[in-house]
A and B are shown apart, each in its own frame.
Chain A
């Protein structure tokens, strides 16, 4: 479908009106994503944005690209299926910490080790916002919510280290309070050929009074250059108790579909009669 279109602008990416709370970190994440796409000269029809369920998973409606607002925790497999069928499309997955690290955690680890060429933006606010304030997989220890009345006795999940330990080829953390740096990181993630994880610390102004903009401004340590090894990246993440932002680690490795070395024709489907010659050929194995 080669159609001559003019260069994309931010206006081309404007979708439905967001219903996020004023001050929500997700506004900045969406703006950063749209800016990154414009900077890269990618058209809305060349992108599939896939999300699960949660506040952040509403992004595909608010940002005009091809999109699929799926079910809770299943954005990654839907997105990978779409990428398998349409390798020429840019596939971007958006969602929250509950969606990706709670109900969808099983898919997360496998998406990491599969290394398909997609970008995963997790808007991590350490709280379940859409269900109005329950504890999440990244909530701090002793965090008090309606469902952890004596404080959260679990310890927060370290998604960055999980990704690093399982062979992720692009791991970054960004902060929605630093839009410029975040946009650079998202742009690099989209450019990366392989699975790229950007965990965006994106404060919930309504339900999380601990992981606030101020908290992150005070505690985040900038990582200016990717670290040389996975081990070093994990060490740095641990040393700063995950309070880092920047691109932590990058590795050039053939993505899943390239490694398979198949001449992809998944979407080439001819209407009309079935291929009789092929039928006769295959029938031989049943004789």
Chain B
């Protein structure tokens, strides 16, 4: 029997058929079996009906990409095979729900059709057909059936013995079917040492968790895919620690509630996606103008307008970097992994309060909704820092009837009094104002205070403003967010299969761009290749504004609503390498 150490598995069916929970059970089972698991869900913007699928990749090493291929496909509806056929690896097994039992070799894969629903009905529980399919999946990789039992016992503990027994029976049936009909195809997934501390977590959950641990106790937002999970996670956790979320009347209220809470001294945030981000732009300017800290999460989906609400894209970069009329100080950060989402979110609150300005956390649908395996959180990595907040004693020393909230200082950051401080009374203003917050149109003050506001963020830095892989290579692939997972795999594959060394650069701080720190990794490179999910190469354009790389840079783009497949980027990078090679020969 062949032993394997990685598996790519997918279940597809109609929305509302429990596709997600079927995927989750198998994923969590393999997670506990010692594997690193990464998942990706494809779904449509409706509640029931329409094809949906859930992809799982289990590996013995950490990865951030759910993989290009499928070894075992559970097809619970007609569409599944048609939609996913191109992903089947040669020798893949497709288990399909159908009327009659049928096993045959198709073009490159084995098709095994079973009347799963009828079999489940015979067992007395028609709902258990997915569990039978899961049992078959487990049997095909020789997973001890007890692994499923343990999960079932825990998952259905509240539903009673009968439900547990019937689910176990369904799983057993799956194992029996494989033993009887597919024994020749069974492989063995090698058991790995189990880990008690690893986490299986989504980007949205990591973002919410990091915000929560940083002391965020207020989130106001409006439901929107793919950001709603952040609000839901916070809703479940905040009341116990004296906070709350508020689902408010619209996107504008989402940000303005948070600005109000923050003005009053809270660590407050709002979470949204592109359409909401568009609506929030005037208030983004208000937060910056009034120097009120605020954290805004934009989990990008495919735009413009309503776009493809449940599909992936990275096309809000320009918007996050430039949105709002006039000119404002802002910090834009973009975690390059689900693990980083925790720390970047936590740091975002420090940056917002230290620099008294809006901080936008960019996510993308794949980063938000994918789940992956990460090490336990390092509690020491981020310390909560609130910046220049004055105590009553400190405020009193100024001896001012109206506290100068916008006091000119060397670093441009003014001491901030929180409402309730008896010596800090002041008005924050969205109008241009002088040091005391009162409206002014004086050209000298206007010029000075613009310089103060715009200049104060220059030194703002994430702890890891970017990550570099093979920094010495002379061709560099640049990406943000979930694309890091793709680039890491491409770099690995080029090394393993072609013996070619290229580098990866994953930028986490987009604004202010850490130009000086990035220089050593960009200067002198033969080619800079951005890999990004948008039409116009927004990331590349942003880099070109800061580095003289116009004649030695290009973008690999994709904007069809899906994340990159590693294979596609790998091929395109090879093409770029061929071009670069030819150019070199010509010059030589």
Partners in one complex: yes
A interface, CB within 8 angstroms of B: 1, 3, 5, 15-16, 43-46, 48-50, 53, 58, 60-61, 64-71, 74, 77-86, 88-89, 106-107, 109-110, 260, 262-276, 278-280, 282-283, 286-287
A70 to B282 alpha-carbon distance, docked (Å): 10
How many positions in chain B have a CB within 8 Å of any CB in the partner chain? 75
Chain A proximity mask over B403-414: 1 for CB below 8 Å, otherwise 0 = 000000000000
Instruction: Let me know if B261 and A84 touch, CB within 8 A.
Output: yes
- From known contacts A43-B422, A89-B419, A276-B379, infer whether A81 and B199 are also in contact, taking CB-CB under 8 Å: no
Q: List the B residue with the shortest CB-CB distance to A273.
A: B383
Chain A positions within 8 Å of B386 at CB level: 269, 271
Chain A residue with Cβ nearest B377: A279
The answer to whether B420 touches A46, judged by C-beta atoms less than 8 angstroms apart, is yes
Q: Which of B132-140, B239-247, B459-467 contacts A (4 or more CB under 8 A)?
A: B239-247
Contact with A along B299-319 (1 / 0, CB 8 A): 000000000000000000000
Known contacts being A85-B260, A106-B250, is A278 close to B427, with CB within 8 Å?
no
- Docked-complex contact B257 and A84, CB < 8 angstroms: yes
Q: Spot the interface stretch: B430-438, B530-538, B558-566.
A: B430-438
Residues of the B chain whose Cβ atoms lie less than 8 Å from the Cβ of A280: 376
Other than the known A5-B422, A268-B242, what 8 A-B pairs have Cβ atoms closer than 8 Å?
A: A68-B429, A80-B260, A84-B244, A84-B246, A265-B217, A268-B217, A274-B379, A279-B377
Q: Is B141 part of the binding interface, using a Cβ–Cβ cutoff of 8 Å?
A: no
* Cβ contacts B265-294/A at 8 Å (1 or 0 each): 111100000000000001101100010000
- In angstroms, Cα B2 to Cα A273, docked, is 49
Most buried by B among A16, A83, A274, A280: A274
B439 part of interface (Cβ distance < 8 Å): yes
Name the one of B242, B380, B423 contacting A265, with C-beta atoms under 8 angstroms. Answer: B242
- Asked if B227 is at the interface of the complex by the 8 Å CB criterion, the answer is no
Q: Give the shortest distance, in Å, between A96 (CB) and chain B (any CB).
A: 15
Question: A5-B422, A266-B242 given as contacts; is B200 within 8 A of A77 (CB)?
Answer: no
Question: Most chain-A CB neighbours within 10 Å: which of B197, B212, B261, B380?
Answer: B261
Residues of A within 8 A of B248 (CB): 77, 110
Show 17 A/B contacts (Cβ-Cβ < 8 Å), sorted by A: A3-B392, A50-B260, A64-B401, A66-B426, A67-B437, A71-B282, A77-B253, A81-B268, A85-B261, A89-B264, A262-B243, A266-B266, A267-B266, A272-B383, A274-B383, A279-B377, A286-B201
Q: How many inter-chain contacts with C-beta < 8 Å in the A-B complex?
A: 217
Determine if A266 and B256 form an interchain contact, defined as CB atoms under 8 angstroms apart.
no
Q: Which of B266, B285, B346, B384 contacts A85 (CB 8 A)?
A: B266
CB distance from B465 to the nearest CB of A (A): 21
Whether A15 touches B430, Cβ cut-off 8 Å, given contacts A78-B257, A86-B264, is: no
B430 touching A71, Cβ below 8 Å: yes
Looking at B196, B260, B267, the one whose CB has the most chain A CB atoms below 10 A away is B260
Determine the chain A residues whose CB is within 8 A of the CB of B215 once the complex forms: 269-270
Closest to B256 in A: A77
**Separation in Å of the A195 CB from the closest CB of chain B?**
14
Whole-angstrom CA separation of A68 from B294 in the bound complex: 15
- CB proximity of B347 to chain A, nearest CB, Å: 11
Q: In this complex, what residue of A is CB-closest to B31?
A: A287
B266 to chain A, nearest CB (A): 4
Q: Which residues of B contact A271 (CB under 8 A)?
A: 383-386
Contacts of A109 in B (CB 8 A): 249
Complex Cα distance, B426 from A16, in Å, reads 11
Provide the bound-state CA to CA distance between A107 and B246, in Å: 14
Least CB distance, A110 to chain B, in whole angstroms: 4
The reply to whether A68 and B428 form a contact with Cβ atoms under 8 Å apart is yes
User: Which B342-392 residues have a C-beta within 8 angstroms of A?
Assistant: 346, 376-377, 379-380, 382-386, 392
Q: Is the CB of B384 within 8 A of A272?
A: yes
The answer to whether the Cβ of B473 comes within 8 Å of any Cβ in the partner chain is no
The reply to whether A110 and B213 form a contact with Cβ atoms under 8 Å apart is no
User: A264 to B199, alpha carbons, bound, how many Å?
Assistant: 30
How distant is B339 from chain A, measured CB to nearest CB, in Å?
12
B419 touches A44 (CB 8 A): no
In the docked arrangement, what's the CA distance between A265 and B242, Å? 4
Cross-chain contact B426 with A77 (CB below 8 angstroms): no
Bound CA–CA A81/B254 (angstroms) = 10
A residues within 8 A CB of B246?
Answer: 84
